[in-house]
Structure 1
Amino acid sequence: MKKIAIIGTVGIPACYGGFESLVQNLVDYQSSDVSYTVFCSSKSYHLKQNTYKSAQLKYIPLKANGISSIPYDIISLVRCLRIKYDVILILGVSGCMVLPLFRLFSRSRVVTNIDGLEWRRDKWGKVTKAFLKFSERIAVKFSDVIIADNQAISDYVKSEYNKDSIVIAYGGEHAVINDAVISDEKSDYYLSLCRIEPENNVSMILAAFANSRYKLKFIGNWNNSEYGLLLKDKYSKFDNIEIIDSIYDIEQLFILRNMCKGYIHGHSAGGTNPSLVEAMQFGMDIFAYDCSFNRYTTEQNAHYFSSSSELCKIIDEMEIGNIPKNGKIMSGIAQYRYQWSIISRMYEDTYK
């Protein structure tokens, strides 16, 4: 049995984002060939369990996100030296600056998921972008295996570093609770869900519906930034737009996804996005911002837009039947690509 240490996340049970859901499902679907130890942030858990299912949990007394993610990941790596793990699975590149030194003292196989090209994101300043790019370069050079969650990222790694990587995305069937039946009868609204950041083209989507007769429910963390507050104030005045604060309850999200007539995905960065993969499970029509990440995720079969007017036009055309619906195709792709049993097996193959 191989001993695997996972570092770089808040921890499990999942309480934050995509990487945390990934780790929880790796544990849920693990084979008898592996044993997991997961490093967790003690700042994020009031109840500090020693185990989650069959996984051992180790706690670091720092936050796992923001600037503290750097020492958090470094301390996790140092603690990995105390036990001879067969494999270190690193999620993200924040602490990878110390990988050259770590490799001098450890014979563990290092598998790194470099995430979604964090250094390209508009929200980071020049210094942060430079650091993340440097960390990415070190991660690629000193890891035995690089995982990319999207083919576009894999292509970038090959072009930038002349190194092959393995494409492994995310599962999404957890969004369909308790094997519930997906409704064929849909309501009259479209749905969008994301962190309220400019790179997710929130204003573009809102402007499109402000100029249409169709209903939109938009879920996000509107109160966390000046950008979100301004958009919330401006567009909550429209009768056909419902601004909804973040929802983390999976049952509430299931109801909203199950009944919506289409999902609007505005993400322009970050590789394969879990919220898109989750939406595809429901057989709803998908409208995605036109970028290589989203085209690879949907296998070129979604409806794509790059402006408010284009989104309006595409929805109008689909509503009157001039362009085909794509929900069944999206569901089919999700069934053979974005299932956790498949993802878990692919990760375990990288440990060999």
Structure 2
Amino acid sequence: MKIAILGTRGIPNHYGGFEQYAELLSVYLVKEGFEVTVYNSHDHPYRERTYKGVQIKHIYDPEKKIGTAGQFLYDLGCIMDIRKQNFDIVYQLGYTSSAVFNFLIPNRVTLVTNMDGLEWKRSKYSSKVQRFLRYSEKLAVKHADQLIADSYGIKAYLDEKYGCNSFYSAYTADIPGAYSVSYPERLALEPGQYNLLIARMEPENNVEMIIRAHTDLPGQQLILVGGTGTPFGKIMVERYGAYPNIRFVQGIYDKDEINSLRHFSRLYFHGHSVGGTNPSLLEAMACGCNILAHNNIFNKSVLESDALYFSDEKELQALIMGDHDAFFEKSRKNNIVKIETQFSEDHMFSLLKEKLIDCVS
């Protein structure tokens, strides 16, 4: 079976969740005997034509030159190339800039779309863009032969709103083999003496709420890992960069390094509020982090009772200053069991593989 994966900047991962997912899934499917092609942006740092058996197609991506419109042109370029190929399945990650072109995908191809989160809820978008994203969501549902929901919260939303039967398939994570204190020490961090947030600098990730909860707590050091080049990221640095206990660190993509930072943190914050199952959250669970999460259905469907939840700055401050050692000792173990059973690569990808086979049978 020939499968194309599009909707990311490409593999290996140098950016975020969908890229990491595409990398892991494509390599897994190749090992299972599938022929897999992943579409990469032309300026992706990996220049080879194959990656661990996965075929790589580089398509011109003008996003850096012309901004958001470039995403649409990149997706259009990928789809136009797909029309020349002989794929059985096109696995589309996201829909925001590609759904308007889905009518160009040949009818002989089975289109499987991973819907990601509720993109139209992101406040960084204007009301006009939010209306477009709602429209794009409808188009994605209309043209897809199978919808994939990466959380039970997203599945419930899709099935209720559109009367469909989406397939639940979340991201995966592995338990790291070892951790090294040398990684936090490189950043002059003492194990157990810093709090950690790993996220894109976007309002919906409640970055500012988490920062503000620390500004009145000078004894609590907060490390923020994520690119600050976005407009919101620049605002956060301008507002809070001078606080001695608030420290911005750019994206870290070395798995050993980022996992060690997670493992040796005192508290780990997950403020995401509009997406599905976030891979960074699963990795925090796998690393045995003490997790404080924003109180919403997406996070609760993953963490269940094995996290402390906050809805506002005051709640978060109280949790930061509280003594929760007994709770975290239990929750860390429970979350690791979840990773080993519910969110392991073998478990999640084997179910998805069978679904993909079923889609074309």
**Is the alpha carbon distance of 1:301 and 1:233 closer, same or farther for their aligned partners in structure 2, counting shifts above 3 Å?**
same
Identity in percent? 34
Q: Using the TM superposition, give the Cα deviation of residue 170 of structure 1 relative to its aligned residue in structure 2, in angstroms.
A: 0.8
* Aligned counterparts of 2:35 and 2:306: Cα–Cα separation in 1: 38
Q: Verify: 1:172 aligned to 2:173, yes or no.
A: yes
For 2:264, the aligned partner's letter is: M
* RMSD (Å), alpha carbons: 2.5
Farther off after superposition, 204-213 or 255-264: 204-213
Q: Write the deviation string for residues 19-55 of structure 1: whole angstroms up to 9, x where unpaired.
A: 111111112222433110111111224x532211212
* Aligned counterparts of 2:158 and 2:62: Cα–Cα separation in 1: 29
Aligned 8 A contact 1:317 1:323 in 2: no
Q: Using the TM superposition, give the Cα deviation of residue 239 of structure 1 relative to its aligned residue in structure 2, in angstroms.
A: 4.0
Q: Write the deviation string for residues 224-274 of structure 1: whole angstroms up to 9, x where unpaired.
A: 43x434433443444443333333333331221121122111111221112
Counterparts of 1:25-36 in structure 2 under 5 Å? 25-30=24-29, 31-36=31-36
Q: Using the TM superposition, give the Cα deviation of residue 131 of structure 1 relative to its aligned residue in structure 2, in angstroms.
A: 2.2
Which residue in the other structure is 1:96 paired with? 99
For 2:161, the aligned partner's letter is: E
Q: Verify: 1:302 aligned to 2:303, yes or no.
A: no
Aligned 8 A contact 1:71 1:95 in 2: no
Aligned 8 A contact 2:179 2:260 in 1: no
Which residue in the other structure is 1:271 paired with? 276
Counterparts of 1:254-265 in structure 2 under 5 Å? 254-265=259-270
Q: Using the TM superposition, give the Cα deviation of residue 302 of structure 1 relative to its aligned residue in structure 2, in angstroms.
A: 1.2
Q: Verify: 1:85 aligned to 2:87, yes or no.
A: yes
Which residue in the other structure is 1:12 paired with? 11
Q: Verify: 1:222 aligned to 2:224, yes or no.
A: no
**Is the alpha carbon distance of 1:215 and 1:145 closer, same or farther for their aligned partners in structure 2, counting shifts above 3 Å?**
same
For 1:5, the aligned partner's letter is: A
Question: Which residue of 344, 348, 351 corresponds with 1:343?
Answer: 348
Q: Secondary structure at the match of 2:36?
A: strand
* Aligned counterparts of 1:263 and 1:313: Cα–Cα separation in 2: 15
**Is the alpha carbon distance of 1:52 and 1:345 closer, same or farther for their aligned partners in structure 2, counting shifts above 3 Å?**
same
Which residue in the other structure is 1:129 paired with? 130
Which residue in the other structure is 2:185 paired with? none
* Aligned counterparts of 2:292 and 2:154: Cα–Cα separation in 1: 21
Q: Secondary structure at the match of 1:33?
A: coil
Aligned residues: 343
**Is the alpha carbon distance of 1:139 and 1:224 closer, same or farther for their aligned partners in structure 2, counting shifts above 3 Å?**
closer
* Aligned counterparts of 1:254 and 1:339: Cα–Cα separation in 2: 17
**Is the alpha carbon distance of 1:168 and 1:311 closer, same or farther for their aligned partners in structure 2, counting shifts above 3 Å?**
same
Farther off after superposition, 27-36 or 197-206: 27-36
* Aligned counterparts of 1:84 and 1:224: Cα–Cα separation in 2: 38
**Is the alpha carbon distance of 1:320 and 1:284 closer, same or farther for their aligned partners in structure 2, counting shifts above 3 Å?**
closer
Counterparts of 1:1-352 in structure 2 under 5 Å? 2-30=1-29, 31-45=31-45, 48-63=47-62, 66-93=68-95, 94-102=97-105, 105-173=106-174, 176=176, 179-180=177-178, 187-212=192-217, 213-225=219-231, 227-319=232-324, 326-352=331-357
* Aligned counterparts of 1:63 and 1:171: Cα–Cα separation in 2: 31
* Aligned counterparts of 2:3 and 2:233: Cα–Cα separation in 1: 40
Q: Using the TM superposition, give the Cα deviation of residue 59 of structure 1 relative to its aligned residue in structure 2, in angstroms.
A: 1.9
Q: Using the TM superposition, give the Cα deviation of residue 137 of structure 1 relative to its aligned residue in structure 2, in angstroms.
A: 0.9
**Is the alpha carbon distance of 1:165 and 1:320 closer, same or farther for their aligned partners in structure 2, counting shifts above 3 Å?**
closer
* Aligned counterparts of 1:344 and 1:301: Cα–Cα separation in 2: 24
Q: Secondary structure at the match of 2:353?
A: helix
Aligned 8 A contact 2:10 2:19 in 1: yes
**Is the alpha carbon distance of 1:316 and 1:322 closer, same or farther for their aligned partners in structure 2, counting shifts above 3 Å?**
farther
Farther off after superposition, 319-328 or 209-218: 319-328
Q: Write the deviation string for residues 106-157 of structure 1: whole angstroms up to 9, x where unpaired.
A: 3121111011121221111223222222221121122111001111111111
**Is the alpha carbon distance of 1:242 and 1:84 closer, same or farther for their aligned partners in structure 2, counting shifts above 3 Å?**
closer
**Is the alpha carbon distance of 1:241 and 1:74 closer, same or farther for their aligned partners in structure 2, counting shifts above 3 Å?**
closer
* Aligned counterparts of 1:196 and 1:40: Cα–Cα separation in 2: 24
For 1:335, the aligned partner's letter is: E
For 2:130, the aligned partner's letter is: K
Task: Note the residue ranges of structure 1 that are not aligned, 5 or more in a row.
Answer: none
